[in-house]
Amino acid sequence: MCGIVGYIGPQAAAPIILNGLRRLEYRGYDSAGICTVDQGGIEIRKRAGKVADLEQALHVSSMPGTTGIGHTRWATHGVPNDPNAHPHADASDTIALVHNGIIENYLTIRKKLVKAGYQLRSETDSEVLAVFIGMLYEQTGSVEQAVRAALGEVDGTFGLVVVSSREPDVMIGARRGSPLVLGIGSGEFIFASDASAIIAHTRQVVYLHDNEMAIVHRDGSYVTKTIGNEATVSAIEEIEFELDAIEKGGFDHFMLKEIFEQPNTFRDGLRGRLQLEDGNVRLGGLESVRDALRTAQRIVITACGTSWHAALVGEYLIESLARIPVEVEYASEFRYRNPIIQPNDVVIAISQSGETADTLAAIREAKMKGATVLGMVNVVGSTIARETEAGVYLHAGPEIGVASTKAFTSQLCILTQFALLLGRMRGLGQLEGRELAKELDAIPAKIQRILERVEDVEAIAREYASASNFLYLGRGVNFPVALEGALKLKEISYIHAEGYPAAEMKHGPIALIDTNMPVVFVATKDDIYDKIVSNIEEVRARSGRVIAIATEGDTHLHSVANHVIEIPETHPLLTPILASIPMQLLAYYIAVQRGCNVDMPRNLAKSVTVE
């Protein structure tokens, strides 16, 4: 959940670390800190609040030293305050570390330390690890051996970087269940939680594997080993995205930029894959499992949050086009209920980051039970991408805004192509395939048309920014879009919102309807259009305020809804893609009107790498 940066090289460390923390602040922003090593000692400055608070209050950019580590925190153990902020030092203030993850047996280790006479200054599990490494360092005289010995006794997850004033020319990184990347520059190294903090300095990176350590030296040498001290060979890979992909580019917020990037990101998800003439799809990452897909008796999709909503749309798509039964599981519940998984099942994990802890646990459970396990992720080199048998990248580029937007539509892009591929493999006709492929190819231009009318959505947002509750309703394939719309509003505006199948409104939620309740309907023209119009009438009869997302040219809805947001006509199975755009914009503009921090909503972090 947290952001980690470590630097060793010829340059002043603090400014590089500070800049890296700014780029990683979407991973956690309740406290931040920097430690540098200089003239035989370590200096730590840390503070509750955002990175900007740290910089302004403690002048960290002027800290001396060419070796250092930094951290931006999302709290797990201990409240967000100065003592609980990272970095943490050992009892002698010679070793410091930054840590992302959870040390599950920290209480046991803490008791051991207290019994040995050590005092701790925070409530965190991370400080326990720092003091433990310090104790072992006194015994071994080697920071590498001390880190290895400590991690050998640790239960839980970690991505961590360790420095020592007694070995100022060495830095150690290690990971288990929490991402850590090593950037290899010209005479310098940079550790980070993800590549966005590295790309300004180098494109050459090594993605550490679970239970792997990297030991880097100021002289430019480095080695990777298992925590058990066996040598490993880690390939050097190249960062694919450009630096401007993680800049705001003139937009007020990353979220707005990423909403406006969707015509391009959706197009990137289609490029080289969609075969218009054949009405088919080529997904190169799935070639090795074609036989398993052809004979699959059931598909299980597992995900969390926004990715789970995309999975629900995928269920409609796959069952409609390929006629294979699909189940969608919350990854956070999957492994705890002893799921029934058969060897002929295909399990698909969907995750933007590719590091979601619950989703990782779910795929490991599915692999153990013998299923074919696939991944649909956005981040190249992520753990889910490495641990699944095959998969497809989203190609959405870095998503910095905590509330997912372009990754969601990219997930729908991939799921639609996957469903079309399966359908063509299992009996879907070429004419039907061509029709869908043609409409899919037209989606980027139709998203662009929606974005050209943002002023209409912004005006609606101004009218409802003071609302306390929202209801989102949809039917069929558009029901998951209602869930996603409600989630977006909750995440960034802090307005209570619920998504429901429209037909379920009469079974309880209708009791909430009054003049103060805005209700957002996905009411596009399809074979159940008349049913959704009836649901709108039921809301209007109870004085509810209706915001309808409608197909262009639908004049009838203007007479029954208070507000109508039009989207271009498309294939009924593709309406979730287009309908999600106005919902993203509505949530964004309402949050702006309420003065909320859109890119860094309270209590949330981008990548949930802890349980």
Catalytic residue among 2, 35, 304, 596: 2
Question: In this structure, are residues 485 and 580 in contact, taking their beta carbons and an 8 Å threshold?
Answer: yes
CA distance 346 to 366: 9
Closest CA to 408 of 583, 178, 155, 580: 580
CA distance 209 to 166: 28
Question: In this structure, are residues 293 and 425 in contact, taking their beta carbons and an 8 Å threshold?
Answer: yes
CA distance 564 to 560: 9
DSSP state of 360: H
Question: In this structure, are residues 508 and 522 in contact, taking their beta carbons and an 8 Å threshold?
Answer: no
Residues 6+ apart with CB under 8 A from 516: 467, 468, 469
Phi, psi of 36 (to 5 degrees): -120, 155
Structure tokens at 400: 């910095």
Question: In this structure, are residues 113 and 29 in contact, taking their beta carbons and an 8 Å threshold?
Answer: no
Separation of first and last alpha carbons in the chain: 10
Structure tokens at 225: 């080993």
Question: In this structure, are residues 2 and 28 in contact, taking their beta carbons and an 8 Å threshold?
Answer: yes
Catalytic status, residue 606: yes
Torsion angle, alpha carbons of 120, 124, 125, 129, to 10: -50
Closest CA to 314 of 396, 243, 409, 212: 409
List, in sequence order, the alpha helices (H) in 116-227: 125-140, 143-153
CA distance 265 to 253: 18
Structure tokens at 326: 């699909």
DSSP-derived pairing of the beta strands 31-38 and 41-48: antiparallel
Rg (CA), the chain: 25
Catalytic residue among 50, 225, 488, 606: 606
Cβ–Cβ contacts within 10 Å for residue 320, how many?
15
Catalytic status, residue 2: yes
SS3 category, 210:
coil
SS3 category, 457:
helix
Cβ–Cβ contacts within 10 Å for residue 284, how many?
10
Report the catalytic residues: 2, 606
